[in-house]
Structure 1
C-alpha cells in the first residue's frame, strides 16, 4: 500500500508540473482557489490544525468568524503557492524580479558586501520558491537544505526544480555533512537561506512563541555563532499581483555566554521577529502541522514561564528545513 501511495503522490505532483503550467493563467489560479475552498470546507486534519495554530496568532479576542475567515484565506494563499510553484519554470527572470518586492533590502545588500557570509532565516510564509528564484538571480545563487520527501523520485524532482532556478540544495540528513557544507558556503562569503520555525530533528531550542513554548531548529543560529555570518530574519507575504519580503536588521550574536547560550538567545530573538511578521500577515503563514509542544506532546509541555535571555539545552548542529 505504501508503494501505491508513493506512486500516486508522485503522479499527482508530476501532473501539476506537466499540466498546470500549460493552463491559461486565470484558469489555473481559479482552479487552485476552488480546490483550496473545497479542502477548507472538508475540515480535514490539516485545516483543523491550521486553525489551532492561527488561534494562537489571532489571540483570544478573535471571534470564530474571524478565525474561519483567516484560515480560509490561508488555504487560498497556500494553494496559490503551489500554483506559482508549478508555473514558476515558465516565468521569465524579468517577471520573477518585477513581481517580487523587498522592504529592507539594504540590510541584505550591506550584509552581502561585508564578506562575512549571510544566514537568512524565514518561516513558512508566502512563496519561498519565488523568493529563492529572486535571491539566486540578484545575489549569484545561494545554498539551502531540503527535507527528503517520499517517494525518492519526488525529492529528486524538487531537487532538480530548485537547482534549475539557481539554488544549491543540500539534503536534510541529520548528519554533520550538511552543516559543514553550509559552513563552507558562509566562510567564503556566500548566502545561506533556511526555513526556520519548525523543528524536524526533535533537537531544537525551546522558545516562547505567541505565548507558548515551541522549538526552533538550532541550525541557522548555530551557523551564525560558528562562522560569524550576518544573521538576518526574513518574512514573506502575498499581495494581489506580487510577493513581498521584509528583510529585518541583523540579529547580532551575543558577545558573552557559552555557545549553547548564544544559540538560545539568537533563537528567541528570531522567534520574536517571526511572531511580529506572522501577526501582521497571519493568512500568509502556511503551518498545517503541529508546532507547539502542548500539541505535539501535552505531557512534555513546560509550564508557561518567561524565557530567559540566555539558557536552554545544548543546541544541535543540524540546520532546520
Structure 2
C-alpha cells in the first residue's frame, strides 16, 4: 500500500470514528431532559474556556471591540465566558438534530410575523437568495429551519477546525437532508448554478478565514471581511437576505431582515463596497444586541491591515476565473489604525499583512 493510499484509508477511518462518536453522543443527549443537557453544556463551556487560552484571548479581543475600550474588564470576562457556554449549547443542539422530530425542531424556533414571506417574495422574483449570517447564536439552525420549511437550501461551508471534528460537523449539518458545498472553486460553481436555478444559499460571512478579503470597517476598526456573498450576488443577481438565530428562552428567534440587491454598475469596486457596508451594518446591529452569543473563536481584527491583500489564494472560494481574478479588489476605507490592544494592555498577536501569491491551479 502506497503512502498516499495509506493516508487516505487512515483519514477515512478517523472520519468514520468521528461520525460514530457524534451519533452516539447525540443519541445519549437526545434522551436527557434539555435542562440537564444545557447544564452539562455550560460546565463544558467553562472547562474549555480555561483549557484553551488562545481561544480565550481571541474571543476577548473580539468582544472588546464590540463592547468598547471603556468596558470594565470584569464585564468583558463575563461576556467571554458566556460565549464559550453558548458555543457548547449550540454543539449539544446540533448533536441532537438527527433525532429531533420535525415538529419539535420547529417548536424550538420562533419567527416574527411575515418573516417567511420575505424569503418567498424574494424567490418569487425569479432570483436566488443568499442568506448571509454571522457566527451569532445558533447560526447553523438558520439553514436547518429553512430546509424544514421546504426551501431548496445549500450551505457554503469551509473547514475551520481539525478534519476529525469537521467530519462530525458535516454529518450533523447534513443529517436532515441539508445540502453542503465546500468553499472550493467547484463548490462555488455549484452554488452559482443553484442560485440561478432559484435556490437558497446560506453563507457565514463575518470572518476572513482565507485572508483573501477586502478591507472594511467593522465596529469602528479596520479589518478584512470576505466579499464572497456580495461578489456572488452581484454576479448572479441573487438577493441578499441577512438572517440571524439568537438564542432565547431555551430556543431560538429566527430574524429575517429585508432583502437587498447588490448594484451592478460599471464601477465594480463601488458596487462591492455598497453591498458589503450594508451587510456589515446588519452584522453590527445584531451582534451588539447579544455579544455573548457571537461564537467567533478566531481573531477578527488583525494587528495591522495592509493596503492590499492577495486575492483568491489556493483554497479560496473565489479562486479561479469564475468571478474574475482580482478585478474587484477594494482598497482600504480608511487609514490603517494603530495597533489595537486588549483590555490588559497587551497587543494581540500579529497576523501577516498579506498572503504570498501561490502558483495558480485549477480544480
Range class of TM-score, shorter chain: 0.7 to 0.9
Seen in structure 2, the aligned counterparts of structure 1 residues 35 and 203 have a Cα distance that, compared at 3 Å, is same
Matched pairs, number: 299
Q: TM-score normalized by structure 1? A: 0.83
- 1:144 lines up with 2:155 in the alignment: yes
Seen in structure 2, the aligned counterparts of structure 1 residues 48 and 155 have a Cα distance that, compared at 3 Å, is closer
Residue 112 of structure 1 corresponds to 123
Would you say the 8 A contact 1:100–1:131 is kept in 2? no
Select the structure of larger CA radius of gyration: 2
Residue 172 of structure 1 corresponds to 183
- 1:60 lines up with 2:78 in the alignment: no
1:171-210 alignment runs, 5 A limit = 171-173=182-184, 175=185, 177-210=186-219
- 1:161 lines up with 2:172 in the alignment: yes
Structure 1's consecutive aligned runs of 4 or more residues displaced over 6 angstroms after TM superposition are none
Residue 241 of structure 1 corresponds to 250
Write the distance in 2 (CA, Å) between the matches of 1:231 and 1:111. Answer: 9
User: What is the CA-CA distance between 1:65 and the residue it aligns to?
Assistant: 1.8
Residue 129 of structure 1 corresponds to 140
Seen in structure 2, the aligned counterparts of structure 1 residues 239 and 137 have a Cα distance that, compared at 3 Å, is same
1:23-34 alignment runs, 5 A limit = 23-34=32-43
Would you say the 8 A contact 1:205–1:264 is kept in 2? no
Residue 227 of structure 2 corresponds to 218
User: What is the CA-CA distance between 1:260 and the residue it aligns to?
Assistant: 3.5
Residue 299 of structure 2 corresponds to 290
CA offset digits 1:112-165 (Å, max 9, x no partner): 222211111000011123222210021433011221367656544433432222
User: What is the CA-CA distance between 1:263 and the residue it aligns to?
Assistant: 2.1
List alignment gaps of at least 5 residues for structure 1: 303-309, 315-321
- 1:36 lines up with 2:36 in the alignment: no
Q: Which has the higher contact order (CA 8 A, sep 6+)?
A: 1
Deviates more, 1:269-278 or 1:14-23: 14-23
Structure whose residues are more often helix by fraction: 1
Match of 2:79 among 48, 70, 78: 70
Write the distance in 1 (CA, Å) between the matches of 2:71 and 2:161. Answer: 38
Residue 353 of structure 2 corresponds to none
CA offset digits 1:267-309 (Å, max 9, x no partner): 1221121011101110110011111122xxx3x456xxxxxxx
CA RMSD of aligned residues (A): 2.8
Would you say the 8 A contact 1:183–1:223 is kept in 2? yes
- 1:94 lines up with 2:106 in the alignment: no
Write the distance in 2 (CA, Å) between the matches of 1:69 and 1:157. Answer: 30
List alignment gaps of at least 5 residues for structure 2: 1-6, 308-327, 333-363
